[in-house]
Amino acid sequence: MKTRREFLKASGYLAVGAALVPNLAKAAKVKNVGIQLYTVRKEMLADAAGTLKQLAQIGYTELESARSEKGNFYGLQPKEIKKIANDLGMTVRSGHVQIDNNWQRTVDMAAEAGQTYLVCASLPTEGQTVANYQRCADAFSKAAETCKKANLVFGYHNHEYEFEKVDGKILYDILLDRTDPNLVKMEMDLGWAILTGNDPLAYFKKYPGRFPLWHLKDMDKTKKESTEFGKGQIDIKKMLQNMDKSGTKYFFVEQEEYPKTAMESAKYDYDYLAKLTY
């Protein structure tokens, strides 16, 4: 027969074990790592196919293009970049563009490239006013309808200026409140949002499921620029732990400044995520 001390000791171990098991069960590895090609913009302009091959060798599987001086796909045609990516085991999932008079052509090209998302990367009209953000929200709704007809999901990517307050209202919130959540989605740039003193988690709670895409980046708050993962002040693990709340389906690594080269930083960031559990 066990003594009371032995029983309590055994029960304690069991309790500790029970407490640890759920945590272990919740631990997850990062999968399907994407990259915003603006990270390697010079390399893409110089040799798009070769750069994509290097990214595939690192391990990236999801791609987001960005409009450049050579067009939306760095000099490649939509079907070209789709084939190159697919042959390398990658997918052109999204693309950064602008809303202009060629919007229908932009949508058609995104569809040809096999994209799921089409993201507006800047406001279609300028002005840090409530009225302009209302106009932009209406423009987003119209652009999103065109996307929907092409089986694309429209989104908007923030920088820092959208979080300015005018008349007591955060301008970014106007874009969220004035558009249909089922039609207009958001790509949250976590770095810029946090740098402005805002909490992405608060947005995920207030607007659940509204953020299917992220730009995942670390930021040096002193220099106010992006840096390699783990070298800034953003809690990457904490962000990843809240993907479900935000409705995130894909994220894209983006780094705009580098200690050495863009490709070295792209590999560093990928390797950091590959070792991470959350």
Residue ranges of the domains in the chain? 28-275
* 156, 193 Cβ separation under 8 angstroms: no
pLDDT, residue 113, reads 98
| Domain 28-275: CATH class, spelled out | alpha beta
Q: What is the pLDDT of residue 26?
A: 63
Instruction: Report the DSSP pairing between strands 225-227 and 218-220.
Output: antiparallel
pLDDT of residue 8: 43
pTM recorded for the entire structure: 0.89
Q: Which residues of the chain have pLDDT under 70?
A: 1-26
Helix/strand/coil (H/E/C) assignment for every residue in 132-186: HHHHHHHHHHHHHHHHHHCCCEEEEECCCHHHCEECCEEHHHHHHHCCCCCCEEE
> Phi/psi of residue 93, each to 5°?
-85, -35
CB 12 within 8 A of CB 263: no
Tell me the two tokens of residue 271.
Answer: 């390797």
Question: CB-hemisphere CA count at 13 Å for 36?
Answer: 27
- Strands, E, within the chain: which ranges? 34-36, 62-66, 91-97, 117-120, 153-157, 165-166, 169-170, 184-189, 213-216, 218-220, 225-227, 250-253
- Compute CA distances 193 → 55, 58, 161, 215, 218, whole Å: 27, 28, 9, 10, 11
Query: How many Cβ atoms are within 10 Å of 77's Cβ, its own excluded?
Result: 14
Structure tokens, 248? 């995130």
Place of tokens 């000791």: 9
Predicted pLDDT of residue 27: 78
